[in-house]
Amino acid sequence: MEFLFELIAAILMGFSPKSRMEKNMEKLKQEEWFLSLCEDYRYQHILSHSKKVKRTLCNNQMVEQLLSNIQEREWFIEIVKQEHEVYVKLN
């Protein structure tokens, strides 16, 4: 439901130059753990193309949890690594 309201608001006000995911990634890049994921060539593609990862990065509440909760952070890192393993096996 929240997504629908945000979509309507974006249409009425015009789309912003940066997506929600880009804004959330900028926030997360202030964190050393996330920056190291971004700088690791193995995970760069996963961070921008995996549906599971993108769903998390587009969710403002999830991003806030990643910033404040170490268990959520560890879960996210594990998801990124698992998605990388799947990607490697497919290619």
Which residues 6+ apart lie within 8 Å of 53 measured at CB?
46, 47, 76, 79, 80, 83
pLDDT at residue number 90: 83
**Residue 2 lies inside a defined structural domain of this protein:** no
pLDDT at residue number 42: 94
Q: State pTM to two decimals.
A: 0.77
**Residue 11 lies inside a defined structural domain of this protein:** no
Range of the domain at 75: 18-90
pLDDT at residue number 12: 58
Residue 50: which of 15, 29, 42 has the closest Cα? 42
How far apart, in whole angstroms, are the C-alpha atoms of residue 12 and residue 4? 12
Q: 21 with 60: CB under 8 angstroms?
A: no
**Residue 25 lies inside a defined structural domain of this protein:** yes
**Residue 57 lies inside a defined structural domain of this protein:** yes
User: How many structural domains are present in the chain?
Assistant: 1
pLDDT tens digits, residue range 7-23?
A: 666 665 555 557 899 99
pLDDT tens digits, residue range 33-81?
A: 999 999 999 999 999 999 999 999 999 999 999 999 999 999 999 999 9
pLDDT at residue number 80: 97
pLDDT at 28 over 70: yes
**Residue 12 lies inside a defined structural domain of this protein:** no
**Residue 3 lies inside a defined structural domain of this protein:** no
